[in-house]
Amino acid sequence: MWGRKKKTTPDALAGIKVGRLHSDVDVNHFDLGILVDEARGQATVQFAVEDHTVVTEDQWRQWESLAGQMPRVMALFTTDVAGGATPHQPRAGAVFYADKKADRKDVDGFIADLLVHAAPMFSYADEVGLVSTPLDADAVRAALAHGLHCAEATSWEELTTQEYEETDATLTLDPEGVAAQASVFTTPADHEGLTSEIDDILHEWEGDVRLRRSRFFRPFVVADSDEEDELAGGGRRHCLVTVEGGADGASAFVDALTPASQVSLRRAWCRQRSLFIAGLGTGVLGFQRAVTDFKRPQPFAA
């Protein structure tokens, strides 16, 4: 496959802009790490789930039905990770938007408003049986460092200067090697059999290959049909599965699915980088970056 290798910029991870990491204290006196994307007028807050290794689809949806009612929520996301050399807690979060031009210009005012509006998301988790811990700036950085295979990084700058190597089918992060080579797949939100299979696989998955399921929910977005609305639960959903461990790891995941589910799985061709970063819980939303990340060079004319 054609490939390329580049360095990132100060506000980007693997070349995908995520904004800056801001530290603040919310209305309930929790220290929060907020990813602020000033260019898009968005900010992301998240928490870790302390009492689970994997959270099932049904339980995530219970939280989403409550958190989706918060003001200014553009999207909710959840991540579950299984396998790999080190364990990692499930996480969930919300991407909030500035709904007025004045808020987009007054970033400090937008963040102050967020520190009030985001507070209920943690109590909603407790209501559905998830013990939540709001993530401060150090915890957000550590979670992203884990996902980027540079757990030894001690600063945001170290994460944003990490190199990567990309093809239209994979993304490899430094340190280079099979363990850090990822393949991102997309799955349909309305395939109940596939959803339950991924739940089961996450619970049973062991070994060095890291498997990450990242779910996204856009509340109140009008569905294309009544059936879609019923299945999605009042919004639109999509799911990403990232398999880290090279071609063998990707094959192991696909082989764990039934044939009926395999045909519904799609590799995210030419969008590996942006969807990998989205799947980490950075506030990056795939629907806002619909263009491909990767262009194959055209052959020379004869």
DSSP secondary-structure letter at 300?
P
* φ/ψ (deg, to 5) at 133: -125, 110
How far apart, in whole angstroms, are the C-alpha atoms of residue 279 and residue 79?
A: 7
200: in domain:
yes
CB neighbours of residue 290 within 10 Å: 8
Give the pTM: 0.89
The whole-number pLDDT of residue 254 equals 95
How far apart, in whole angstroms, are the C-alpha atoms of residue 267 and residue 269?
A: 6
CB 41 within 8 A of CB 110: yes
The whole-number pLDDT of residue 235 equals 82
How far apart, in whole angstroms, are the C-alpha atoms of residue 222 and residue 224?
A: 7
297: in domain:
no
Residue recorded with tokens 């950085």: 141
The whole-number pLDDT of residue 298 equals 38
The whole-number pLDDT of residue 10 equals 65
Residue 101 makes CB contacts below 8 A (sequence gap 6+) with none
Structural domain boundaries, residue 76: 13-288
59: in domain:
yes
What kind and span of H or E run contains 246?
helix 246-256
DSSP secondary-structure letter at 275?
H
The whole-number pLDDT of residue 83 equals 93
How far apart, in whole angstroms, are the C-alpha atoms of residue 62 and residue 128?
A: 6
The whole-number pLDDT of residue 53 equals 86
6: in domain:
no
261: in domain:
yes
How far apart, in whole angstroms, are the C-alpha atoms of residue 15 and residue 107?
A: 23
3: in domain:
no
135: in domain:
yes
CB 294 within 8 A of CB 272: yes
Number of structural domains in the chain: 1
The whole-number pLDDT of residue 224 equals 62
* pLDDT tens digits in sequence order for the chain, 302 residues long: 445 555 446 688 988 889 999 999 999 999 999 999 998 999 999 999 998 888 988 899 999 999 999 999 999 999 999 998 888 899 999 999 998 776 677 899 999 999 999 999 999 999 999 999 999 999 999 999 999 988 888 899 888 888 888 888 999 987 555 667 899 999 876 677 888 999 999 999 999 899 999 999 998 766 566 665 555 557 888 899 999 988 899 999 999 999 999 999 999 998 999 999 999 999 999 877 765 565 544 333 33
b/e burial code for range 212-250 (CB count within 10 A of at least 16 → b)? bbbbbbbbeeeeeeeeeeebbbbbbbbbbbbbbbbeebb
126: in domain:
yes
